[in-house]
Amino acid sequence: MTEMRTTVVLPQPFVAQALNGAAMQGNASLVRALIKQGADPNQTDYEGRTPCFLAAQNGHESCIRALVELGADPNQANNDEETPCSIATEKGHESCIRALVELGADPNQAGKLGGTLLFISAHGGFESCIRSLVELGADPSQANNNGATPCLVAASEGHELCIRALVELDDRSCLRKGFAGRFCPCGEEGGRAGPRSPGRHRAAYRRGGQPMGRCARWRRR
């Protein structure tokens, strides 16, 4: 007896909705099947979100890789100018950040006010994301439009581990030229930009022996 197989062709609107759902749920095999059925990997919803954006937002690395492999743009932004990499960073999805940068996303991409992915990580307290981004090429000394650096953002939010990471990865992230009179990256108000002993400061953070605001490097002048 010969087995009969029937190919079901789904309506395009249904395919489009199904692709977004598959990306949100992390079903990479369904993502591949739907794109083969004719779904557009760069389609957008009412907020301008692509399937790649939705996968990044929900932490699904396998879907991101499948989508980009089948034609998705890893840099396509939504209506608010957020990219898949920026939303993955905001959510702390380190594996997605790595995947997106490996697939073509810019680790130094900046938002409306000039804040890079490192600013987002520093604000959210994601130390591991900071380390991964710098490893992938992000510049920890790159300032935003107001002249602030990721280290200053981490200090303002009280994320000591992020400050330690930024100091360890690049001293320039803490120099903040032109920020004299404001609090230093270690949280001490009135501190001036300009270290007296860079090596001692870095060593203190590595030992973990200096509390915020009393570091060996940043002193009032």
On whether residue 77 sits in a domain, the answer given is yes
Domain span including residue 22: 10-106
Q: In this structure, what CATH number is given to the domain that contains residue 97?
A: 1.25.40.20
Is residue 106 within 8 Å of 86, Cβ to Cβ?
no
Residue type, 202: R
On whether residue 149 sits in a domain, the answer given is no
On whether residue 199 sits in a domain, the answer given is no
Q: How many CB atoms lie within 10 A of CB 193?
A: 17
97-124 pLDDT, tens digit each: 999 999 999 999 988 788 899 999 999 9
On whether residue 218 sits in a domain, the answer given is no
Q: pLDDT tens digits, the chain, 221 residues: what are they?
A: 455 443 445 555 667 788 999 999 999 999 999 999 889 999 998 899 999 999 999 999 999 999 999 999 999 999 999 999 999 999 999 999 999 999 999 999 988 788 899 999 999 999 999 999 999 999 988 888 888 889 999 998 899 899 989 888 875 444 433 333 333 444 443 333 334 344 444 444 444 433 334 343 433 32
Count of domains forming the chain? 1
On whether residue 20 sits in a domain, the answer given is yes
On whether residue 125 sits in a domain, the answer given is no
CB burial readout 146-180, b (16+ within 10 A) else e: eebbbbbbbbeeebbebbbbbbbbbbebbbbeebe
C-alpha span between 125 and 119 (Å, rounded): 10
On whether residue 73 sits in a domain, the answer given is yes
Is residue 78 within 8 Å of 49, Cβ to Cβ?
yes
120-159 pLDDT, tens digit each: 999 999 999 999 999 999 998 888 888 888 999 999 889 9
On whether residue 82 sits in a domain, the answer given is yes
CA 36: distance to chain centroid? 30
